[in-house]
Chain A
């Protein structure tokens, strides 16, 4: 299971990646849309966890571009804000829409749920 974490808060995304790695989940991270797209070209990710608000590009836009490159890729949104508009647009394609702060346990559950993997 290859996961790509994208969030402009580096401390956040680094820590989450490390914690996932500790649990045996292969998680990479990026702090901008460009980095994320570059990384997605290098590696075939199953799931991307995106912040809705990213510098320059929004998380929603990034999702579209990632999906264009890799149609199989699944998405989970993670947001500190969560306006109704974001929710409506995001809910159309994303599997989950989670508010920050989120418990890692919940995040892992949602990831498994999205990928259809039974938690072992």
Chain B
């Protein structure tokens, strides 16, 4: 028997009895299956539902938190940039409005102002004053640009129109990125002039690059054509074209999800910096930002898997245990039911036999007496010449009557003992009495019978009817197992002071090892379906137990079977449960 078989619950091997009196009312496999399925559904569905909801809620809250953080960072940087530009623009406004045109075109004065601006704000590279014709009248800075004509340049038109102009970033003469800020001042009597400053964007670059952004964050500025205005960490150098699309115009800071050309998902925070052509972009790797969520997710999934496993194991174990117990109880009930049925059958059989025997005994007695009388007439009279021959016939009649008498007496004794419980029984006598029923069959089939009962066995205080049934069942089984010409040996030995051991050994076909453990189970039969109920040995087992004894079986296929019954010589007082079954 393998380990699996050992732990395999008994009801799984439940055999189908669809029809007949041994039909099972309950299909335990079905009950077991449905118990597991329903309990599992009821237990697991809410758990899984809650986990899924929790999963989504947590994911959403983490994502929105990340977005919010991104938004805040973008917004802060935008403020910084806006302030940087506004500050410089305001400085130029201040210069142009607090100085007259005349003082500004004075080269010395302009150089002083540039120097002050550099000291006060930083980032200023040069400063120029341009009249209404677009000619630079004065210039302070590293180059000699006095007299340069800007009238045909686009920015000059823009500054005339709007009063202020901030250019895209461009590479200046020194091959470093620059931008231009120009402001216009109108004369009270008509006409205007423009103050133009070149700003070094190095300060802006420093601000952006010093930011420590999580998720491999990259902060940079682009213009509305998608050209990088500051160098970026991962998205190209200054004045290169950005591979990502330019976000749509928005008043406020926004965050959206996008995909890198490499396929990695990203969060993009952006803000249009008002009054400038600049868009601040902050690009962060979604994967890295969502790392805490991944950890939480693993924990959540791990918890779910562990809970589901534990729940399923418990459900499986409990269902199996309960259904198996139900099955065992049902088996016991059936066993008891069939035992009663069998006992009743035996009792009615006994009554029938007694009735028949009684009815036959009277006519038999008449035949007996009549034949006896005929014999007497021969014996006592002298009239009959052929008396001897006739007398022989009568003798034959009388012998037959005496045989019939023996049979009916045996039937009566069998029946009578159905209702007697405890009495002193001679073991040899009862064995021979039961064998008497099978004597003819043994003779026909040339089965050798050997009864060996030790003389020192005292009379058994036991139930004659039960003993008869036990021996009858065992002998019947032995007869069924043996070929013609077999040998049945019954030996009885005393064991200790209180017990007797009876062995019933045949040299029949034997029982396979696998079946040996099951021969005492109800409904187990190796005979053909219509040959038996499979109850014989289970009832024998029950009867031996009732008498306070034990039964064991040893067998080898092809060699034979030995049933060993150990019976107490005296019944225990408190076990006096002999039931009247008639």
Is B416's CB under 8 angstroms from A101's CB? no
Query: Considering the chains assembled together, what is the distance between the CA atoms of A82 and B362 in angstroms?
Result: 12
State whether A19 touches B373 (Cβ < 8 A).
yes
**Tier of interface size on chain B:** 20 to 34
A93 at the interface (CB under 8 A from B): no
Contact of B361 among A100, A103, A104 (CB under 8 A): A100
Known: A22-B380, A84-B419. A101 touches B364 (CB 8 A): yes
* A 72-120 contacts with B by CB, 8 A: 80-84, 99-104
Segment at the A interface, from B140-148, B192-200, B337-345, B401-409: B401-409
Judge whether B402 and A104 touch: CB under 8 Å. Answer: no
C-alpha spacing A61/B501, complex, angstroms: 46
Are A101 and B380 in contact, CB atoms less than 8 angstroms apart?
Answer: no
How far apart sit A29 and B416, CA to CA, in the bound complex (Å)?
30
The answer to whether residues A12 and B358 also contact, given A84-B416, A84-B420 and a CB cut-off of 8 A, is no
Q: Are A22 and B402 in contact (CB under 8 A)?
A: no
> Is the Cβ of A80 less than 8 Å from the Cβ of B380?
no
Would A11 and B370 count as touching, CB distance under 8 A? yes
**Cβ of B259 under 8 Å from chain A:** no
Is B435 part of the binding interface, using a Cβ–Cβ cutoff of 8 Å? no
Q: How far is the CA of A82 from the CA of B417 in the complex (A)?
A: 12
In this assembly, does B354 line the interface, its C-beta being within 8 Å of a C-beta of chain A? yes
Quick check: is B540 within 8 A (CB to CB) of the other chain? no
Q: Could you tell me if B365 and A12 are in contact, using CB atoms closer than 8 angstroms?
A: yes
Per-residue interface assignment for chain B, residues 351 to 374, with 1 indicating a CB less than 8 Å from any chain A CB and 0 otherwise: 000100111011011111110110
What are the residues of chain A within 8 A of B129 when measuring CB–CB? none
Q: What's the Cα separation between A16 and B364 when bound, in Å?
A: 13
| Chain A nearest CB, measured from B368 CB (Å) | 4
Q: Which residue of B lies closest to A53 (CB)?
A: B358
Taking CB atoms, residues of chain B closer than 8 Å to A82 are 412, 416
CB <8 Å contact, A9 and B362: yes
Q: How far is the CA of A104 from the CA of B365 in the complex (A)?
A: 10
Contact with B along A19-46 (1 / 0, CB 8 A): 1001100000000000000000000000
Smallest CB–CB gap between B18 and chain A, Å? 44
Please give, as numbers and ranges, the residues of chain A lying within 8 Å of B404 by CB-CB distance: 101
Residues of B within 8 A of A (CB): 354, 357-359, 361-362, 364-370, 372-373, 376, 380, 398, 401-402, 404-405, 409, 412, 416, 419-420
